[in-house]
Amino acid sequence: MVPDALAKQYVSLMERDRLRVQPAIAALVAEHSETIVGSGYRDIITRMSESDSFVNAISNLGVMINALTLWCDCTPENTARWGCPHGHGGPCYGKGCYFSEMCGELEFGVVEWDSLFDAFSTITGAIEAQRVRILEYLHEGIEHYHRYSPCLVPAFWLAVPKEWRSPDYRAIATPGD
């Protein structure tokens, strides 16, 4: 199957299975993540200890993770220990605690997700290859990132229709609000 047709088939599957897939994603997000930045399924901030489980579960659901971004977990302890914040601000999650977005070039920068199918003949093959690539980066590559700090946590972008909204979307305050 040609890559463009494969991407279109993936979109059709997501739209057809929305009533099954979207609630399953919401349950996995509730189980494994700290917060979602925005209203959709992009920048799902996840503790490093939950990342493998989240990546595996989302991939097993048949959903492509199309990007990974990094966020500084800015707590008073991390500020004293590692000099946080390293990023540009973001959502609060407790008294004096927030995630600060790391804007920069990453191996897993945001891409048009349909291009991820270009080298594969099956949707399952593309999803599995991306799953392996992400886990390898989290285990072996992240420490080579030029702005690496132990305070960094990943956030995942899911290749789902832009119209899909997280059911527990909430307005997020940023430091200084």
Q: Measure the CA–CA gap between 50 and 8, rounded to whole angstroms.
A: 31
Residues 147-168 have pLDDT tens digits of 889 999 999 999 998 888 887 6
Q: Measure the CA–CA gap between 96 and 117, rounded to whole angstroms.
A: 41
Residues 108-145 have pLDDT tens digits of 554 455 566 666 678 888 889 889 889 988 998 888 88
pTM, rounded to two decimals: 0.85
Residue of 56, 30, 70, 75 whose CA lies nearest to 167: 30
